[in-house]
Structure 1
């Protein structure tokens, strides 16, 4: 974490304390994935209140490695038996993405009077770095886009644990580990995860560090190089840091900017949650898989957040990660296509006004 000043270190320490306190409180009251949800909420509230929360940029890759390690360590050989069910869920994913983009983009344009660039870039369920890169070229209002997208990520992180608590679904027993990796094994697995993550990043793989770390940890486990679980304190630390990372995305967003985009963002996210829930329910009637696992695989949340929730709720992380990778690949094709249509629409409107 180079160039970390004393002030920056104190802000980082404050962020960790807030995240740990929020996660501990949510866990103490019995919320599923409480460490993750509580830390995200606590840091989000602090950021919106103007407190100096921050995570050093170099720490983000460490968090991604921890998430990938944890996801890979939960994969079992039984995961491969689910491959036969994937064509159905992948077809549902493609249909779901088209419906989400079309309906939420139309809603933001029609009822919130956003320009098409802002509305449709805000409606893309994922690939935030790609979306913001396009916004930086002059398509849409970048500030409104990032607020709506971050609201989506935060709300999805909160929605799953609440749903698991109050809805009569997924009474899924999480297997309790009895043997854990030692310090030397952990260090070797982490080095392998970091190395493969860097390779994935160099190859421009979406979410490369997370996916590379997961690929390394999964390959090592399925190859018999280790069988034990990640120690519970390290898993809790991973959840706390992931929640802090989600919440810290609200830093720098003023209250007026937030309020201007929040209503549209909340409604768009609610629409997205409704569509995902309906599609996941339909798919759950066709395949033998927990509803919550399907929901996490089809949900358009950040892969690190959905992967961490998958670990916390005891689901198959290989299924979840694979669907998120394919979602990002689908969006890599869809985003430029939609932007081309937006540009053509803007040129047509400009020509009409000129005439």
Structure 2
């Protein structure tokens, strides 16, 4: 039986992600299946290998991440809500600092136009950012490269930080019972419906959040208590790593190198700001530093959520803060674009005079 040629890039991507994940796990890297897979697929894409994650398979990955996050929510996690106002305030301050600092740096140091610089500096909401870029604001190719570098670096930083920093975090719970196949199918069906509803409602990261919402409500409501099967969680990590790495598909090495330094420096500034804010919040509210860091980190929800599961953190806290960040950006992005366009119009008017 031959494999259709259209499926070969997808199968190759998954094999590369699995191999990279296995190697990273073998050498003892935290969250190895996720981080190793993402790094391996990224390296393959940069080497010219045709990698791909079709939309349907991407949605399956989103579904699995959402289910895993919901199933990982601790029954007492909502008791921590009283501590969230401090971290949410820090999140708002952090977003202002990141956008202002990295946008300024990209315009002054790398001489990017204001549209490209500030759309590249927004920490998240990539689909919204690229939609605005497609309308004629900034250089869409440079924006996507800098944004993808941000997602990739943030996925790598947390596991490496867990190895070299004295970061306290929860031990990953030991699975004693797992869902039966019929329970798993019922939960998956409900999560698909929930995810589709969130997509119809145009909720950011709707499929992930909809699936997580259903899985969380079902667990807190006592409809199930068992964990997802280990092999399914492993598949989730491999697919998420493949998804992150495949975002480099179609980006030539020349294009990558042109935008790489700007992306690396911007992401390093972002990591520094997030780290300082997370340290302040963790010292005030007495939460594990790593958990706060993941909640404040402007990485992709599916990547940060999967890392939260792998490192044993409170997924409800992480997901809630990523939703709030996306909502804040939904208002901030159009406002900043309006300011940019007014400045560009004023500059053109001044040149004509």
Provide the C-alpha distance between the structure 1 equivalents of 2:250 and 2:351, rounded to a whole number of angstroms: 36
Provide the C-alpha distance between the structure 1 equivalents of 2:218 and 2:172, rounded to a whole number of angstroms: 22
Match of 2:280 in 1: 282
Match of 2:8 in 1: 10
CA distances 1:143-198 after superposition (whole Å, capped 9, x unpaired): 00000000000000000000001111125321111111111111000000000100
Normalised to the residue count of structure 1, the TM-score between the two structures is 0.98
Provide the C-alpha distance between the structure 2 equivalents of 1:89 and 1:13, rounded to a whole number of angstroms: 41
Provide the C-alpha distance between the structure 2 equivalents of 1:197 and 1:12, rounded to a whole number of angstroms: 23
How far the C-alpha of 1:11 sits from its partner, in A, is 1.1
Query: Which 10-residue stretch deviates more, 283-292 or 323-332?
Result: 283-292
Q: How many residues align?
A: 351
Match of 1:98 in 2: 96
Provide the C-alpha distance between the structure 1 equivalents of 2:53 and 2:267, rounded to a whole number of angstroms: 26
Normalised to the residue count of structure 2, the TM-score between the two structures is 0.98
Q: Within 5 A, what are the aligned runs for 1:1-355?
A: 6-355=4-353
Provide the C-alpha distance between the structure 1 equivalents of 2:126 and 2:171, rounded to a whole number of angstroms: 33
Provide the C-alpha distance between the structure 1 equivalents of 2:68 and 2:103, rounded to a whole number of angstroms: 35
The question of whether the paired residues in 2 share the 8 Å contact of 1:303 and 1:321 is answered with yes
The question of whether the paired residues in 2 share the 8 Å contact of 1:8 and 1:54 is answered with no
Provide the C-alpha distance between the structure 2 equivalents of 1:55 and 1:76, rounded to a whole number of angstroms: 31
Query: Which 10-residue stretch deviates more, 76-85 or 118-127?
Result: 76-85
The question of whether the paired residues in 1 share the 8 Å contact of 2:169 and 2:311 is answered with no
Structure 2 residues not aligned, in runs of 5+: none
Provide the C-alpha distance between the structure 1 equivalents of 2:49 and 2:167, rounded to a whole number of angstroms: 38
Are the structure 2 counterparts of residues 333 and 171 from structure 1 closer, same or farther at C-alpha, using a change threshold of 3 Å?
closer
RMSD: 0.8
How far the C-alpha of 1:107 sits from its partner, in A, is 0.2
Structure 1 residues not aligned, in runs of 5+: none
